[in-house]
Amino acid sequence: MTVGVAEGVGALTLQLGGLTIDPPVVLAPMAGVTNRAYRQLCREQGAPLAVCEMVTSRGITERIPRTFEYLSFAADELRSVQIYGVDPRVMAEATRILCAEFGVQHVDLNFGCPVPKVTRRGGGGALPWKRDRLAAILAATVRAAEPFGVPVTMKTRLGIDADHLTYRESGRIAEDSGCAAVTLHARTVLQAYGGRADWTAIATLVDELAIPVLGNGDIWEVDDARRMVETTGCAGVEIGRGCLGRPWLFRDLRALAVPGGAAVPSYLPDLGEVSQMVHRHAELQAELFGEKHGLTDLRKHMGWYFKGFPVGGELRRGLAMVSSLAELDALLVQLDPDAPFPASEVGIPRGRQGTPREKVVLPYGWLDSRVLGSADISAAETDASGG
């Protein structure tokens, strides 16, 4: 649970329990994106820790087949899973199952989800407002993982909104509960994925905690990551939307500089190299899901991969409807391999954006007290995305 500098290479390293994360870069769990295929693609580009899509703790404990389908790992993969839940006993049992039956080596807990169907029942980013429930979940999960030597981390947001911030207290609760690290997405639940991330809050949490703090939010290029580490002192970075259609970002991040070091230029592949990446992604998808299902699932990535490139409308439509490897290859060969990466896309937000919400949907009277007491909000799990 310490942060150090690797001698001779000038790169930050991160220790989570018995795990060494070098460089201190994490692929964030993203629903519908970070399946085994995409995680492997990012690992091939240099991601040392890639987190599985979020799954619900109740889905694990009730052994729902669809939930278990998400828990697919490559033989050489560091097995990392993010789980969601609101019941300490269920979260602890889910953690035990993950460690004992699936060989999971790292468990991350989601307390940052801004989706209304989750927050309206007191889950996700709404839960840290109830500090007693947060403490109970964290303590129970850490105890369940301890016999297996598995580190537990927490991901959270700044708070519900600017008037109801929770990140500082939540960080202290995580530290007191034995968590190995905290990842802070420096936006409120109200902001969702809009607006700007407040990196000053990351620096504040770094100053207040002895355990590592990882920063998340508005990292689109390698130099963004360098600046975040330099300006906040965070122990590492978590990459979400920034790598959508750009898994080679992790190649850049292998050279993440020590604070104060020189800026690292982003790698800008030409269209031919991007096409090769898409083909590799397609192969991994077909291996995981079968060719038809795998290529169908790949369609959502096409807009991210080819954004800004000179790809005609007809070709774009074809790529968005691809259903076989042969069909994909026939389309990719029509692209100009020498077309340079569009400079207009450098440093531009990717994936979900939108504007901040007008309000956060919460249970009736949720903000009246900072404690939940014995109230039961376990139904909040049943509607969470990701299994």
Residue 23: asked if its preceding bond is cis (omega within 30°), the reply is yes
Q: Rounded distance, CA 185 to CA 193, Å?
A: 10
What residue segments make up the domains of the chain, in order of their start? Answer: 3-267+363-383, 271-345
Quote the pLDDT of residue 13.
77
Mean pLDDT of 245-273: 76
pLDDT at residue 354 is higher than 80: no
Quote the pLDDT of residue 218.
94
271-345 maps to which CATH number? 1.10.1200.80
Mean pLDDT of 127-137: 97
| Structure letter (DSSP) for residue 355 | P
Which CATH architecture best describes the domain 3-267+363-383? Alpha-Beta Barrel (3.20)
Per-residue pLDDT of 176-210, as tens digits, reads 999 999 999 999 999 999 889 999 999 999 999 99
* Residues with Cβ within 8 Å of residue 277, at least 6 apart in sequence: 41, 247, 248, 269, 305
pLDDT at residue 39 is higher than 80: yes
| Structure letter (DSSP) for residue 121 | T
> Would residue 99 show up in a list of annotated catalytic residues for this protein?
no
Strands 213-216 and 52-56: unpaired
pLDDT at residue 4 is higher than 90: no
pLDDT at residue 9 is higher than 50: no
Smallest Cα–Cα separation from 12: which of 2, 23, 27, 28?
23
Considering 113, 179, 234, 243, which one is annotated as catalytic?
113
Give the distance from CA 345 to its chain's centroid. 22
257 contacts 264 by C-beta, under 8 angstroms: yes
Instruction: Indicate if 271-345 has the same CATH topology as 3-267+363-383.
Output: no
State the maximum Cα–Cα separation within the chain, in Å, rounded to a whole number: 63
Smallest Cα–Cα separation from 52: which of 69, 64, 62?
69
Banded pLDDT at 128 (limits 50, 70, 90): very high
* Residues with Cβ within 8 Å of residue 353, at least 6 apart in sequence: 193, 194
Quote the pLDDT of residue 310.
94
**173-187, 247-261, 341-355: range with lowest mean pLDDT:** 247-261
